[in-house]
Structure 1
Amino acid sequence: MKVEQIYTGCLAHAAYYLESKGEAAIFDPLREVGPYLARAEKDNAKIKYVFETHFHADFVSGHLDLKTKTGARIVFGPTAKPNYEAIIAEDNQVFNVGDYKVKVIHTPGHTMESTTYLLIDENGKEHGIITGDTLFIGDVGRPDLAQHVVSDLTEEKLARHLYDSLRNKIMPLSDDLIVYPNHGAGSACGKMMSKETTDTLGHQKQVNYALRADMTKEEFVEELLSGLTPPPGYFPQNVLMNIKGYESLDSIKKRAIRPLDPHEFEAAAEETGAVILDVRTRDEFTSGHIPRSIYIGLDGNFAPWAGALITDVKQPILLVVPEGKEDEVITRLSRVGFDHTLGYLKGGFEAWKGASKEFDTLTSVTVQEFKKQYVMKPDAKVFDVRKASEYNAEHFEGAVNTPLDYFNDYLPQFPSEENFYLHCQGGYRSVIAASILKSRGIHNVIDIAGGVDAMKKSGLPLTDYVCPTTML
């Protein structure tokens, strides 16, 4: 059967391409539709359907642009209520794609409209299931997202629906089916997803905690909800965009790819209150950056961090970006709903300095320098911006955990007078955190370059978790 996974690592996202006899279908596409159009063109195929497993929270889907560009029909599962034309399929309804069949299996739980698609080949053999966020490899979808859009859909109610969907709809299927999930490790849509992006259903029944055969519904709900952290702030905003519709990415790019000289850039920032987002490397930002700009490097999990830390997707944004990367940055922002980029600094940061504009730097020390300074002042405060699970596994003794995922909640806790240190695992997140602090006028921050990775290499002693020190 001709089914292809199209994986995007920075979002840990998987879309799927299905083709038979010149007809194609796309499942859960990303915002930019060019790769799907090119894939179908390679097969000389026409995209007939765009199947959506649910209203996504962690990205804005490309279903509407695909419909506009190809005439494809959008398909949702039962109970979905989009604000645009789409097929709302019935449970067990079958769609034909060439000689293949796609059967709708309504699997509420992650959300109420969540749907799994059973793929059946030209010989009538069941091949695999495209599960969306219902079933991952090693995990299942978190049931606490829909309540941020519909308040009476509590996480307990959805968890119970998910238990029933898994037991009554998924687990009775054949063990040799291939599971094709919407996400892999690194996504915030689950707790413990595997790095593997496909598996057989039979193997998942053996190793996935949520598919344990003797698990009661109460045990399932308790285990599923245990350890859930709050979802990123942009999730409910993306859900609404996917329900209500959105502006074409082509229009957004046309407006956003706008070069501004340093004087125009500065004026735009002052007039609009735009966030200045610097996407260069850590070293470049540390050495010099526009005052009050926020660093989120393009070489990391750029879009998810932008979504987690910029609280409103309608926030105007101005970019400091390496030459030639403008289109990529705007696309990656729009993937998570940030459609209000106003332009970018023409000539980059060097042009800013060349115009004799004021700039700032970030103090950063090596682990060796930190050790010397800490011996001189052992009461200096140290903050660890990694996730709680990372901190619990090992951390610098005395460091306080202030996870970057929810960094805006911790801002009042940082000292405004005395110097303090900040670190993460390898240096990416700590520079993001430091830039946020400096944008709020807290300049007495010192970044520990290389973070825990460098500490371990230098022999700096680390301890495991003893007692809660997270500041709220």
Structure 2
Amino acid sequence: MKVEQIYTGCLAQGAYYITSNGEAAIIDPLRETQPYIDRLEKDGVKLKYIFETHFHADFVSGHVDLSKRTQAPIVYGPTANPEFEAIVAADNQIFEIGDVKIKVIHTPGHTMESSCYLLIDEQGKETTLFSGDTLFLGDVGRPDLAQKAASMTQEELAGLLYDSLYNKILPLADYITVYPAHGAGSACGKNMMKETVDSLGNQKKMNYALNQPNKEAFVKAVTDGLLPPPAYFGMNVAMNKKGYDSFDEVLQNGMKKLSPTEFELYAESTGALILDTRNDKEFAKGFIPQSINIGLNGDFAPWVGAMIVDVKQPILLVTDIGREEEAVTRLSRVGFDNVVGHLDGGFESWKAADKDIDVVNRITPEEFASAINVEKDKVVDVRKETEYAAEHVDAAYSKPLAYINEWVKDIDPQEHFYIHCAGGYRSMIAASILQARGYRNFTEVEGGFNAIKQTDVPKTDFVCQSKMLS
């Protein structure tokens, strides 16, 4: 028996590959299926089952495509109602893969169909728990994503989650290995550890949610401080539940090469959003007017989902040469399948064609330190609230990037302001959105707060974020 975690950092997502005696199972696969097909062929094993822990909200799973390509059935836990052929398992139902078994443990609370899968080895010993979004390391799944479907409040769902964890998961042996569906950085929880594997015994000791004195305290603890879920989550759930276009078709469309003139015509005729995936330093120096910058070298897919929201939005890509396929693939992972083409030759071809170019007014942290008067000048900090609370420029305004659609309408276009994040990635996303909407009276600070800290700009006292969250 072999168990492998296949972790994708930009999504903070774990898929799992299990083999035993010529057969395999995959849990929560990513959208693109070819790597799994290649691995199955290399190992000489047959895929017997595709297990889904629940209808995912933060990414589109590869279950439908993978099932079509391998004929392996898709398995969900009790109460699931997918709109495609699948096995809806009973609680405690056993599935055999080679010489090992996987037991379904129905754990509603994060969603109603949420289930964990317990791996039983060749000797009949329970060894590994694939906990999905029910139990994370250091946290549990947020109980507010299934409210509409379940016609329940988040408090009622949290109560179900308590019952699932305390009655079905906590009684399991301490030595069992826990493999969650997500790690730190995912919006499916609020306080996850950076580690991606742990023992259940350690989680029983240190996970705040597993150490509450009663259900009432648990409900309060897990619902306290929950931020609104990203707006694209519901659309991803629908795709995971209803099915979607083949990834191969999505990739073929996105890999369509467009000359600068064709690209310009497509943008004008289709209403496509121009998404520039280069790094913030390159983007600042020049870009196609109205482009939105979300760099591939960062938390690309989650920020695309949070900023663009509508998965059906037509998208035209500008990428570094050779990264077109990567961009299309990572967009598809969060359901943005409507990529209509990319700029052939990248931004250099646009410049060579003598097309219009825009720039962002970016300054160095040293220039910022020389120019800023904290008593008079307005500074907008687009980091998360916790980052801002830990330490920030004196008198800066906290305006998290995630809520730009709310706070942008409060901007006075006549009043100049400075804008920064932690390192430049998020502030350039914000800058590109602001300029696309006609706001230009601002200056973005290169390197963000990490660089500003090295200057003499007045700052608040540092407060450890981990203490703030405890």
The bucket for the TM-score relative to the shorter chain is over 0.9
1:58 aligns with 2:58: yes
Matched with 1:330 is 328
Give the aligned partner of residue 368 of structure 1.
366
Out of 457-466 and 268-277, give the one that drifted further: 457-466
3-state secondary structure, aligned to 2:173: coil
Is the partner of 1:410 in helix, strand or coil?
A: helix
Residue of structure 2 equivalent to 1:41: 41
Contact 2:112/2:150 (CA < 8 Å) preserved in 1?
no
Q: CA deviation at 1:215?
A: 1.9
Aligned to 2:100: 100
1:401 equivalent in alignment to 2:434: no
In 2, distance between residues paired with 1:389 and 1:357? 42
Aligned with residue 427 of structure 1, among 407, 424, 427:
424
State the match for 1:277 in structure 2. 275
Cα distance in 2, alignment partners of residues 238 and 218 from structure 1: 31
Segments of structure 2 that go 5 or more residues without pairing to the other structure are: 464-470
Quote the offset at 1:6 in angstroms: 0.4
The letter of the residue matching 2:441 is: N
Where does residue 314 of structure 2 map in the other structure? 316
Which residue of the partner structure matches residue 357 of structure 2? 359
TM-score (norm 2): 0.97
Distance 2:405 2:241 in 1: 28
What do the CA deviations read for 1:311-356 (whole angstroms, capped 9, x no partner)?
2110000011111111110000000000000101111111111111
Residues of 1 paired with 2:402 and 2:150: CA distance?
A: 23
Amino acid in the other structure paired with 1:354 = A
Counterparts of 2:184 and 2:42, CA distance in 1:
30
Equivalent pair of 2:375/2:395 in contact (CA under 8 Å): no
AA aligned to 1:356 is D
For residue 57 of structure 1, report the CA deviation from its aligned partner: 0.3
Per the alignment, residue 70 of structure 2 pairs with: 70
Q: TM-score, normalised by structure 1?
A: 0.96
Structure-2 separation of matches of 1:232 and 1:420: 27
Determine the C-alpha separation between the residues in 1 that align with 2:372 and 2:193. Answer: 39
Correspondence 1:253 to 2:269: no
Equivalent in 376, 380, 387 of residue 377 of structure 2: 380
Structure 1 residue runs of 5 or longer lacking an equivalent are 467-472
Q: What's the CA shift for 1:38? A: 1.9
Q: What's the offset of the Cα at 1:100?
A: 0.5
Q: Deviations over 1:284-334 (max 9, x none)?
A: 100000111000001010010000000211000001111111111000000
The equivalent residue for 2:110 is 110
Shift of residue 378 of structure 1? Answer: 4.3
In 2: Cα distance, 1:37 partner to 1:180 partner: 22
User: Is this contact kept in 2: 1:309–1:406, CA < 8 A?
Assistant: no
1:189 and 2:188 correspond: yes
| 1:83 counterpart SS class | coil
Q: Report if the CA contact (8 A) 1:392-1:464 is conserved.
A: no
The residue that corresponds to 1:470 in the other structure is none
1:117-175 CA distance string (max 9 Å, x none): 0000011011110000000111000001112x426232111100000000100000111
SS of 2:149 mapped into structure 1: coil
For residues 248 and 92 of structure 2, the distance between their equivalents in structure 1, rounded to whole angstroms, comes to 36
Q: Return the match for 1:410 from 382, 407, 414.
A: 407
| Deviation per residue, 1:345-381 (Å, 9 max, x gap) | 1111111111111110001111211122114x84221
Separation in structure 1 between the aligned mates of residue 414 and residue 345 of structure 2, nearest angstrom? 36
AA at the equivalent of 2:384? K
Match of 2:169 in 1: 170
Deviation at 1:418, TM superposition (A): 2.8
Task: Measure, in 2, the Cα distance between the counterparts of 1:390 and 1:258.
Answer: 40
Distance 1:301 1:294 in 2: 15
Whole-angstrom CA distance in 1 between matches of 2:407 and 2:369: 25
* Whole-angstrom distance in 2 between the partners of 1:200 and 1:355: 58
Partner of 2:209: 210
Query: What is the alpha-carbon distance in structure 1 between the residues aligned to residue 438 and residue 235 of structure 2?
Result: 29
* Structure-2 residue corresponding to 1:232: 230
Give the partner amino acid of 1:449.
E
1:26 & 1:423 partners in 2: Cα distance?
41
2:342 to 341, 344, 350: 344
SS of the equivalent of 1:180 reads strand
Task: Provide the residue aligned with 1:180 in structure 2.
Answer: 179
Aligned pair 1:292/2:290, yes or no? yes
Moved more, 414-423 or 394-403: 414-423
**Aligned residues of 2:369 and 2:456 also touching (Cα < 8 A):** no
Using the alignment, how far apart are the partners of 1:232 and 1:249 within structure 2? 23
Report the Cα offset of residue 178 of structure 1. 0.3
Partners of 2:250 and 2:347 in 1: CA distance: 24
In the TM superposition, residue 460 of structure 1 has moved relative to its aligned partner by 2.6
User: Once the 2 structures are TM-superposed, how far is the Cα of residue 459 of structure 1 from its aligned partner?
Assistant: 3.6
Contact kept, 8 Å, 2:18 with 2:26, in 1: the verdict is: yes
- Indicate if the aligned counterparts of 1:26 and 1:49 stay in contact, CA closer than 8 A: yes
**Distance (whole Å) between structure 2 residues aligned to residue 415 and residue 351 of structure 1:** 36
CA drift at 1:446: 0.6
Sequence identity (%): 60
Corresponding residue for residue 439 of structure 2: 442
Supply the distance in 1 between the matched residues of 2:248 and 2:266 (Cα, whole angstroms).
23
d(CA) in 2 for partners of 1:62, 1:21 = 24
Distance 2:112 2:330 in 1: 28
Aligned residue number for residue 466 of structure 2:
none
Q: Is the 8 A contact 2:421 2:448 kept in 1?
A: yes
**8 Å contact kept, 1:391–1:465:** no
User: Which sits farther off after the overlay, 364-373 or 338-347?
Assistant: 364-373
Does the 8 A contact of 1:308 with 1:406 survive in 2? no
Structure 1 residues 336 and 192: alpha-carbon distance in aligned structure 2, compared to 1, 3 A threshold: same
Deviation at 1:415, TM superposition (A): 2.3
TM-superposed CA distance for 1:113, in Å, is: 0.2
1:2 Cα offset (Å): 1.1
SS in 2 for 1:197: coil
Assess if the C-alpha contact under 8 Å between 2:175 and 2:200 holds in 1.
yes
Q: Matches of 1:198 and 1:154 in 2, distance apart?
A: 31
Q: Spell out structure 1 runs of 4+ moving beyond 6 A.
A: none
Greater mean alpha carbon deviation, residues 351-360 or residues 57-66 = 351-360
Structure 1 distance, partners of 2:168, 2:458, is 50
Shift in Å, 1:464: 4.8
